[in-house]
Structure 1
């Protein structure tokens, strides 16, 4: 059996994927705005968690190799944390790393 893997349409960067999916212009704009807000909120959470991990590494004066052992990740992953490469991590993995430092993450919903 042969599968068709050829793309028939690609939404250009900066365009509205919801409009391309057939939503009305008004609904597509609303969905895109909501999507951007959710992504922005998640990135802010990740950046906050990464900042806390970076501060912990600095406070303890750890080399990345030593931090990697404690955090249960590789040295290059520590570098990714320090340089806030948010797309490489889930919120869950960052919370797990903070737990390994002895810190607790508390959630506040407003």
Structure 2
């Protein structure tokens, strides 16, 4: 997660802050948000969430605090599947309606 200068404002706050991996961080944040919502809805402790998702309790703690640097997109997706969620990845040509990039809708 290195920062670089990006003088022009965009719709991506992380990009505006100069993170060179802004798209990946945005995707991780969206998945973590959904994961945290599910943990809250089910009233799970971090230990219970760890058992269900196959993550360690410290990893669940990182997700709960949105410290996502050492957690892969794949791991977050697998955790959501463990909580009975359907995760779908869609690849489409970049056109006016779809600019090049990564978007996660959770």
5+ residue gaps, structure 1, are 1-12, 17-32
Query: Is residue 64 of structure 2 the alignment partner of residue 82 of structure 1?
Result: yes
CA separation of 1:67 and 1:106: change in aligned 2, threshold 3 A: same
Q: 1:47 to 1:14 in 2, by over 3 A?
A: closer
Structure 2: which 5+ residue stretches go unaligned? 6-14, 93-97, 99-106
CA 1:57 to 1:37, structure 2 compared with 1: closer, same or farther past 3 Å? same
Q: Normalized per residue, which structure has more helix?
A: 1
Q: Aligned ranges for residues 43-62 of structure 1 at < 5 Å?
A: 43-62=25-44
Structure ranking higher on relative contact order (CA contacts 8 Å, 6+ apart): 2
Highest Rg: 1 or 2? 1
TM-score by length of 2: 0.66
Aligned to 2:51: 69
Aligned length: 80
